[in-house]
Structure 1
Amino acid sequence: MSAPTTALPGFDFIQKAVDIDGHMMAYVDEGTGPPVLHVHGNPTWSFYWRSLLSTLPGDGFRAIAPDHIGMGRSDKPALAEYPHTLARRVADLTAFVEHLDLDEPLHLVVHDWGGPIGLSWAVEHLDQVDKVVVLNTGAFPLPADKRIPWSLQAARLPVIGDVAVRRLNAFSLGALTLGSGRWVLDAEARRGLLAPYDSPAHRVAVHAFVQDIPTGPSDPAHPVLARLAERLPLLDGHPVQVHWGMKDPVFDAGILAHLEAYLPHAEVHRYPDAGHYVLEDAAAAIVPRVRTFLAAPR
């Protein structure tokens, strides 16, 4: 099953697709060898991983990167056709990994919402996980001393959020500047990151991800994150490498400190001039470190 493709600079990988409970999930699957599963966040897609997807196969790895339902080149169902919840995202990823039918543990690379999704799968399937690479993300409920920025709070409002995020594409556009440690990302990154979200109908999942950010125990995603936080220390027995853009306005130094408390043996790299899109800002430093980390004996 093949997904529709549109050529993008820097992203010329063959697209594959699999049916996940009636919805087409697109993914990239390059190379052979130990599998490396990349799980993206919002409002990105597999394009975000292109610097790793283009290099890891040359190191003898199988680089895999799915697009969440509603994101990238996957199907983009309406709200009434798909729940757009964290629990469903974890279930989708579980089904996707089962589809891969791997005969060895995988390496996991996560960013943003890919953290709660990918790590929630990982802590329930520890025997299927080898090494873990974490980029700016959260893997636990919002700490008591942390508040989400006003811009995210506004985007969660029913009318304002719908106009700003779905109709004006403000969340995706804003992330190009607020998500970077630079003034703005380069043209290749801007074009690629925005490409799938070219109409309000294609931004349903982008908005739904923002609305799903849990701020308290009554929010649907909170129990999933609470379960993840409870089991996250189990991953400290695995090799974990962390890459963190220190100019991230949401996943800041405080969130990193909380993550380190859960994973005290993790190898942590801080990038003072990088933002939330840390792999865009600091690929030249991150990619070689990830390649070395994954290639090293366990």
Structure 2
Amino acid sequence: MSGFPGYPFASHWFERDGHRLHYVDEGTGPPVLFLHGNPSWSYMWRYPVLALRDRFRCIAPDHIGMGLSDKPDEDGYAWTLASRVDDLDALTGHLIAAGAPERGWTLAMHDWGGPIGMAWAARHPERVARLVVLNTAAFPNPHGDRVRPPLRPPFWMLRETALGERLFLRHNAFARLATLPPLGVRRPMPRAVRAAYLAPTAEPGNRIAVRRFVQDVPLRPGDPAWPVLHGAAEALEWFAHLPVLIGWGLRDVVFDRAILDEWCRRFPGARACVYPDAGHYMLEDTGYRFLTELHAFMSGRR
């Protein structure tokens, strides 16, 4: 059992290329794969896992460098979108070899979980039965290669400058700000919950993945992650016939209404649950409102 509030899960480990990847594996039944983004970890999925584990097998990995997974140094890991997809492919392949079903997977994605998850799904479209989409993207930015004006200066400072590196590595600024109103949430997290979000990046040496995720954001052709993102976007049409649930915090300062509209355009049959009072970490802001929708969707009542 962990010491994190609301996260009473046993730890499981998968070793790949000398690094241990941590994951939650709770319940039995059809598998649900929960994919977090940056700068969060599997802790963000604690409520959905608790809500669904009586009927589903809930699997929530921590990306390498995040959460309870190993934290390699700068040269110890590739730190690319492609490497994240390879990690996920290796983990799911391991689980299937150990008895998990090859088909019938629900893919739940938030933030970077979207491009990672949909790129994995593009490799194995026959495995995916449902999609749950929470404040993420798996296609090029509808705004083009522009970062929205309020975010442009801090984004480029964090991504490109020595000051940004100091803020990331010395002060943990990105993770700290992401757990505060108004950038990550609209209402303050309880102190213990915020501490749990921040625990994996408490030490400067554990913050490399946070910055490298920001540096890997694909804005235009030529960026290293662009081919993977573009391939995932092209494959989205293969999944348009599936049940899709969208949960969206409209007060997200990064994943805005234009990105939500693009999801709805690509999946016109999706059920969209939109929350004007929720931010990027919409699960923290919506509580049981979205969990009720998720439970109904997974039960086939939506």
User: TM-score scaled by structure 2?
Assistant: 0.93
Cα deviation 1:83-118 (Å, max 9, x = unaligned): 110011011101111011122421111000001101
How many percent of aligned residue pairs carry the same amino acid? 45
Give the letter for the 1:179 counterpart: G
Matched residue, 1:122: 121
C-alpha displacement of 1:7: 1.1
Give the letter for the 2:204 counterpart: P
Matched residue, 2:198: 194
5 Å-filtered alignment, 1:52-91, equals 52-58=48-54, 60-91=55-86
SS of corresponding position for 2:28: coil
Give the letter for the 2:217 counterpart: I
Cα deviation 1:255-290 (Å, max 9, x = unaligned): 111122222221111000000000111121111111
Gap change, CA 1:188 and 1:220, over 3 Å in 2: same
5 Å-filtered alignment, 1:34-183, equals 34-58=30-54, 60-101=55-96, 102-103=100-101, 104-145=103-144, 146-148=146-148, 149-150=151-152, 151-177=154-180, 178-182=183-187
Give the letter for the 2:169 counterpart: R
Give the letter for the 2:166 counterpart: V
Give the letter for the 1:11 counterpart: Y
SS of corresponding position for 2:64: coil
Matched residue, 1:286: 290
- Work out whether residues 142 and 258 of structure 2, in 8 Å CA contact, stay in contact via their aligned partners in 1: no
Matched residue, 1:244: 248
- Work out whether residues 10 and 188 of structure 1, in 8 Å CA contact, stay in contact via their aligned partners in 2: no
SS of corresponding position for 2:207: helix
2:258 to 251, 254, 259: 254
Gap change, CA 1:279 and 1:297, over 3 Å in 2: closer
Aligned residues: CA RMSD:
1.5
- Work out whether residues 123 and 235 of structure 1, in 8 Å CA contact, stay in contact via their aligned partners in 2: no
SS of corresponding position for 2:177: helix
Matched residue, 2:5: 9
Cα deviation 1:209-259 (Å, max 9, x = unaligned): 011111211211111111111111211111110000000011010111112
Give the letter for the 1:85 counterpart: T
CA distance in 2, matches of 1:271, 1:35: 27
1:20 to 9, 16, 23: 16
- Work out whether residues 26 and 66 of structure 1, in 8 Å CA contact, stay in contact via their aligned partners in 2: yes
Cα deviation 1:96-146 (Å, max 9, x = unaligned): 110111224211110000011011111221110111100000111122455
Q: Which runs of 5+ in 1 are unaligned?
A: none
Matched residue, 1:205: 209
CA distance in 2, matches of 1:189, 1:154: 28
Give the letter for the 2:59 counterpart: I
C-alpha displacement of 1:200: 1.1
Query: What is the aligned length?
Result: 292
